[in-house]
């Protein structure tokens, strides 16, 4: 295990309390060293690979923003063609913008063709590398630099895209949601995904202190709150069916999660902000009901 701790070395230029660094570390701890990492553009790529330095102790390739799935497909196909695929896992690690917005076509192609790859989305719910613009991972009501609250807006007007289920609908043998607040759970699921043959998908919730506006010591705390308020349900799906759900005994009200972050602060100050909070609570209630989180 100790060797696995060093697959992503410290000394990179991530912010204090960075979610990407934790998530990438857990991914490598789950996958092990027989891996080729494909990393589309984003904070993780920029902070771990300022030439001539690198934090990666595994083979690592940077792809463009929109093509992580395609590059991973190419590597897998080439290794197979050379007869050198063996147990090597090709692992794509992208952010929410790259995975859910601009790269979804390329990723869909990779999953539909059935390449033996694992793709991990580190979802910090906005384009953090370019200055906190909304993505289709941004939750309802969040203030970002392109969803500012004001006289005609309460912040981001849409709910998060349900990316995990979209990937399950591709016929993936294993998809799971994870959170960087639950390291053991995440490492176990990544390991399982890596050991499953075929295209598998992990979607990890990842609070970003810089973009979300909370103290850098609170990354794990905020991550746990998302799960405890049932806004981020942790579950596994095998061949399209939900097989495991992490129970939440006494779900906390969503306010506890929202009020701890600057990006939701306006909801507590604006007229009718409580109505927006109600909508967010409804989303949590729906998760509780749908996944049977409190049963």
Partner 1 sequence: MSVQLIKGNTAVIVGALYAGCDCYFGYPITPASEILHEASKYFPMANRKFVQAESEEAAINMVYGAAAAGHRVLTASSGPGISLKQEGFSYMAGAQLPCVIANIQRAGPGLGNIGPEQADYNQVVKGGGHGNYKNIVLAPNSVQEMCDLTIKAFDLAFKYRNPAVLLSDGVLGQMMEPLKFPEKAIEHKVDTSWAVAGNAETKKNLVTSIFLNFEQQELFNVKLLEKYEKICENEVIYEEYLTEDADIILVSYGISSRISKSAVEAAREKGYKVGLFRLITLYPFPKKELLKLATEKNRVFVAVEMSAGQMRDDLALAIECKRPVELVARYGGNIIEMDAILKKIEEIYEKVDF
- Which residues would be at the binding site for partner 1 (CB under 8 A)? 41, 62, 64-66, 97, 101-102, 104, 127, 129-131, 133-134, 136, 145-148, 150-153
Q: For the chain, where are the alpha helices, taking DSSP H only?
A: 2-5, 19-31, 43-48, 68-81, 96, 104-113, 163-168, 183-195, 209-212, 219-228, 254-258, 273-291
CB of 132 to partner 1, least distance (A): 9
Interatomic CA distance for residues 144 and 146, integer angstroms: 5
Contact 189, 236 (CB under 8 A): yes
Q: How far is the CB of 64 from partner 1 (least distance, A)?
A: 7
Residue 72 CB, nearest approach to partner 1 (Å): 18
**Nearer Cβ to partner 1, position 57 or 146?**
146
Q: Closer to partner 1 by CB, 146 or 283: give it.
A: 146
141: left (phi over 0), alpha (psi -120 to 50) or beta: left
Q: Which is nearer to partner 1, 53 or 294 (CB)?
A: 53
**Cβ 192 to partner 1 shortest distance, Å:** 30
Task: Pick between residue 66 and residue 185 the one whose CB is nearest to partner 1.
Answer: 66
In the bound state with partner 1, the residue whose beta carbon lies nearer, of 30 and 92, is: 92
Angle made by CA atoms 62, 94, 279, in degrees to the nearest 5: 160
- The answer to whether 229 and 257 have CB atoms below 8 angstroms apart is yes
Output the smallest distance, CB 14 to partner 1, in A. 18
């Amino acid at each position: 295990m100790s060797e696995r701790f060093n697959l992503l070395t410290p000394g990179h230029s991530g912010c204090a309390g960075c979610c990407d660094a934790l998530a990438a570390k857990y991914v490598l701890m789950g996958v092990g060293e027989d891996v080729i990492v494909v990393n589309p553009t984003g904070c993780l790529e920029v902070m771990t690979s300022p030439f001539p330095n690198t934090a990666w102790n595994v083979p690592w390739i940077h792809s463009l923003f929109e093509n992580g799935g395609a590059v991973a497909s190419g590597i897998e196909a080439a290794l197979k063609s050379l007869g050198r695929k063996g147990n090597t896992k090709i692992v794509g690690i992208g952010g929410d913008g790259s995975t859910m917005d601009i790269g979804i076509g390329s990723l869909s192609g990779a999953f539909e063709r059935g390449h033996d790859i694992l793709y991990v989305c580190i979802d910090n719910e906005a384009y953090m590398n370019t200055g906190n613009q909304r993505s289709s991972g941004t939750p309802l009501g969040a203030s970002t630099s392109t969803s500012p609250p004001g006289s005609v807006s309460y912040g981001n007007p849409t709910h998060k895209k349900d990316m995990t289920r979209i990937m399950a609908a591709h016929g993936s043998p294993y998809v799971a949601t994870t959170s960087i607040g639950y390291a053991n759970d995440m490492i176990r699921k990544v390991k399982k995904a890596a050991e499953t043959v075929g295209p598998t998908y992990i979607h990890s919730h990842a609070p970003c202190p810089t973009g979300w506006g909370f103290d850098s010591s609170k990354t794990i705390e905020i991550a746990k709150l998302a799960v405890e308020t049932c806004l981020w349900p942790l579950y596994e799906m095998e061949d399209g069916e939900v097989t495991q759900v992490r129970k939440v005994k006494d779900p906390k009200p969503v306010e506890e999660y929202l009020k701890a972050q600057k990006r939701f602060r306006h909801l507590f100050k604006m007229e009718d902000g409580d109505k927006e909070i109600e909508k967010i609570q409804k989303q949590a209630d729906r998760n509780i009901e749908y996944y049977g989180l409190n049963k």
